[in-house]
Structure 1
Amino acid sequence: MSIGNSPEDERPFPDESEEFRPSVGRALQKARIAAGLTVDDVSSATRVRIAIVHAMEADDFAPCGGAVYARGHIRTLARAVRLDPEPLIAQYDAEHGGRPAPTPAAPLFEAERIRPERRGPNWTAAMVAAIVAVIGFVGFTAFKGGDSGNDAKSQVAEGTTATPTKSASPTPTKDKPADPTSEASDSAIAAAPQDKVTVQVSAANGRSWISAKDHNGRMLFDGLLKKGESKTFQDSSKINLILGDAGAIQLYVNGKKIEDNFQKGSVERLTYTKGDPEAG
C-alpha cells in the first residue's frame, strides 16, 4: 500500500494535546483526513509532490525550497483541504522569524528587438538577364550581317547598287530592383503574430519557479526564473502556465501587459489563448 493512500491509517503526532493549538503541518493533516482525502489525492489536486506534502504535514518545510515557496504551498494545500490559509501562514511566519521585507521591484524588462533581414535588389538575376540580352544581340547582328553580305554580292553581279539596311537592335532590359521589406515594429511583443499566442514571463520582482506547456501538453519550460530574467513562449492556440510565486512575475500576453495583482508567494495556474489578454 502506498504512503498516504488511506486516511484511516494516519497516526497522530506524539504528545499532542487538544488544549494546545496544532502546528501548521498537523492542522493540514487533520483537515485532509477530515475531508476524506489521501496524500495522493492532495498531490494530484495541487500538483505538489507527494514527498513535499508528507514533509509539510511533519512540519518540515525545507523541501519547499524557501520561505516564499513554503507559504505558497501552505496556501495551496489549505485550499485543497478546505481550510482558511491566512491563519496558517501567519502561524508559519510567527514560527519561522516573520515575513521578510519585500524586495524592491526590478525595472521592467526591455523587449528584445526583432528586425527582419533587409533584402536588397536581386543583382544576380539582373546580370544574367543582361548577359542573355547581349548574347542575343550579338548573335542577331552576326546573322543579319551574313544575309546582308550575300544580298550585296548578288545585286553587284546583276549591275544594281545594293542599299544597306539597318537592322533593329533589341534593347536590353533590366530587372527592376525589388522594393526593400518594410521595417518591423521595434517591440518584439507588439510584433507577435495574430495567428498565434505569445506569452512573455519576466521575474521582475524576484525569482520564481515557472512551468509552461503548449496546447498538446508538451513541456516548453520547467525551472527557476531568476530575478531580472525573462522567457517568451509561443504556440498556435494555447499556453498553459504555473507560477510558483506569482507576485514576483510580470506577464505580457499578445503584446499587452497583464494587470492582475498576484499576491506574493501565491501559486497561480493560468491559460492564455490567441484572444487574450484575458486569463483562461
Structure 2
Amino acid sequence: MSNGNSPEDERPIEVSPDVSEDVSEEARPSIGRALQQARIAAGMTVDDLTTATRVRIAIVHAIEADDFAPCGGDVYARGHIRTLAKAVGLDPAELLAQFDAAHGGRPAPTPAAPLFEAERIRPERRGPNWTAAMVAAIVAVIGFVGFTFVKGGDDGPSEASVAEGPQSTSGGSASPSAEAKKPDAPEPEASDSAIAAAPRDKVTVKVTATEGRSWISAMDHNGRRLFDGLLKEGDSETFQDDEEVNLVLGDAGAIQLYVNGKKIEDDFQPGAVERLTYTKGDPQVG
C-alpha cells in the first residue's frame, strides 16, 4: 500500500544492461522533481513555500513540473531555483549546475561595480538662514534704541528714568538691551532629500532590501552583469555606469531604490517581478 505517494513515485527505475555508464546521471531526479520531493519531505505545501520565499504559486507549480518558461528567462529561473532550494533544505549549487548543463551553461560572472566615493551621505548645501538674520537685526535695532535712551539720561534725570525704568531696592536692574535680546532660532535640520551627492555625469543606483529578501540582477549599458544574487533584509548594493543601469527585481515590494541621489517612490507590489532602466539626471523608469 502507498504511503501518500503515487505509484509512479515508488516505481523503481529499470536499467537495461546495454545502457552506458551515464545511466546513473540520467536517472537522477529532475530539478522540479527534486524540489517537489524535498518540499514534501519538509512537510511544506506550495502555499507554505510561496509564503516563505515570495515566489508566486503559479511559478512554483511550473518549476516543480520542470517548466521554466513562466520564469521569464534563464536568469530569473536560476534565481527562483536558488531561492526554492534553500527554503526546502537542498544545495542550490547542485540544482543550478544541473540547470546550466541543460540550458547552455551560465556566463562567466563579473565583479560588481565598486562603490563610488560620493556614497557617503553628505547634507546638501543650504541657503542663508534668513530667520536667524532677521532676529539678529531686530536685536541690534533694539539695542541701539536702548543705548540712545541711556546715553540721553546724562542731560536730565527725567529722560534717564524713562529709559531705565523704576530702580529696584536691591541696587540694580537689567539694561533694556539685555532684556530685549532673544535666543537665536535653531537652525533647521538637514533636508530629507539630502540622501547622497551622486555625480551628474554617471548613473548611480542604490538597492536596499527593506521589507524582506529579494533576488536582483543588474547590468550596465553594454549588457555586462554587475550583480546577480539574493539580497537579505537590510543588505544594500550600489551600481554605477556612464549611460544606464538595467535592473531586474525578483520581489520589487521588498526593495527600496535611490537613483542619482533621489528616493524612488514607486508603489511596487510584494512578489512582483520588475524590470527597470535608469539613466543620468532625474530618475525615469525605462
Normalising by structure 2, report the TM-score: 0.45
Larger Rg belongs to: 1
